[in-house]
Amino acid sequence: MTKIEIKKNKNSEIEIIGEIAEKEFESYRKDAVTHLGKELEVDGFRKGHVPENIIESKLSDMLVLEEMAHRAISKEYPTILADNKIDAIGRPEISLTKLAKNNPLGFTIRTAVMPEITLPDYASIAKKIPFSKESTDATDEDIENTILQIRRMRAQSQAQAQAKQKEKEKKEEGTPTPPAKIEDKDLPPLDDEHVKSLGNFKDVADFKIQLKENIKKEKETKENDKRRLKIIDGIIEKSTVEVPQLLVNMELDKMLHQLKGDIANSGLTFEDYLKHLKKEEADIRKDWEKDARKRAEVSLIISKIALAENIKADEKEVEHQLKHLLEHHKGADPQGARAYIENILINKKVFAFLEDQK
């Protein structure tokens, strides 16, 4: 049996203080041990086929208890929300207050709840935002500029490969000598062989046709994004919403995760990036606080509009995307992945609804 106490905090946040009885908590041990034993390697046994008693002898008590706690709270949390009619949003912050063998499990969960939101006549606001009259056709200049960038990238790649080869031949240690800068007049031309290496193109003429279409689509997307931003800004301006700090923190986490990924892909470390800026991670979070708060506000407003208009994600599309995501990200949490996909699909539908107001 799970005992809980719910405290309402300010800023649309609640705290759930709970305890799962010892006997119930202990019921999660078998599955926890089995899960942890899947990756355990023990001489004389095939991986994933180690007896439970041997697995337990090889694992620390705390590791098993932590896995039990994860499983127990993952199961109990949705039930607590449903039984107490709590409209929780975002990812909860979970703290374990008691975790020991032959004891109940103590925990505290902080979560944001859907705040009171007063929406304006969002359909009317969207209707008043005009469509762009800017031409989205790809000009000859657009095409030539894109081709020039492709030629520059090709030349840079070839120069770097040649520089590395020279260093290898010299058997010199250290950083390879950077290649000399190549002037635009000396760039290799865009030929049929090169465009075929870029994708499913027959020749340069075919490449230019598809490039023209892609540039047009990109321009259309940019113009649609501008209108979408004006619509949502107009709705925000006339809305009343209290944004939970937990949601702001979540947005900051997402933004930082994206930044760290981009930095890693460029071959740098996040620590070096911070040194270059002469900042700490906390400084970046502070700088981004306003943008993160707006993101959270937009998310809440979109959710409210979806609820008001009964806009839902198509279940078949959710299942299709979920299957694809789990196939390519083996360690992903199915429940979290589903929520992520549903959120994206609902957001798209809400924006499509707003953009179609005429």
Mean pLDDT lowest among 25-39, 231-245, 307-321: 25-39
Q: Give the range among 26-30, 58-62, 211-215, 260-264 with minimum mean pLDDT.
A: 58-62
What is residue 33's predicted lDDT score, i.e. its pLDDT? 87
Q: Which two tokens stand for residue 343?
A: 């959120």
Question: E strand or H helix at 97, and its extent?
Answer: strand 88-98
Q: Return the domain boundaries, the chain.
A: 2-113, 115-240
The CATH fold of domain 2-113: Alpha-Beta Plaits (3.30.70)
The predicted structure's pLDDT at residue 49: 67
Q: Which residue has the higher pLDDT, 102 or 174?
A: 102
- Mean pLDDT lowest for which of 68-82, 165-179, 219-233? 165-179
pLDDT bucket at 308, cuts 50 / 70 / 90:
very high
Q: Over the chain, what is the mean pLDDT? A: 89
Q: Are 154 and 194 in contact (CB under 8 A)?
A: yes
Residues 180-205 pLDDT 10s: 567 777 688 888 888 888 888 999 99
pLDDT band at 131 (very low <50, low <70, confident <90, very high): confident
Share of the chain above pLDDT 90, in %: 65
Report d(CA 222, CA 129) in Å as an integer.
Answer: 15
Backbone phi, psi, residue 240, to 5°: -120, 120
The side-by-side arrangement of strands in the sheet containing 2-9 is 2-9, 13-20, 105-113, 88-98
**pLDDT value of residue 35:** 85
Give CA–CA dist 65/101, Å, rounded.
Answer: 7
Structure-block tokens of residue 245 = 């700090």
Residues 333-346 pLDDT 10s? 888 889 889 999 99
- For residue 158, is pLDDT > 80? no
State the residue for tokens 């502070």. Answer: 286
Better-predicted residue by pLDDT, 266 or 106: 106
- Amino acid 42: pLDDT: 74
Q: State the pLDDT at residue 269.
A: 92
pTM of the model as a whole: 0.74
The secondary element (H helix, E strand) that includes residue 321 is helix 315-328
- Name the amino acid, one letter, at 99: L
From CA 108, how far away is CA 6, in angstroms rounded? 10
Assess whether pLDDT exceeds 60 at residue 179.
no
Write the pLDDT tens digit of every residue in 222-266: 999 999 999 999 999 999 999 999 999 999 999 999 999 999 988
Element at 340 (helix H, strand E): helix 334-355
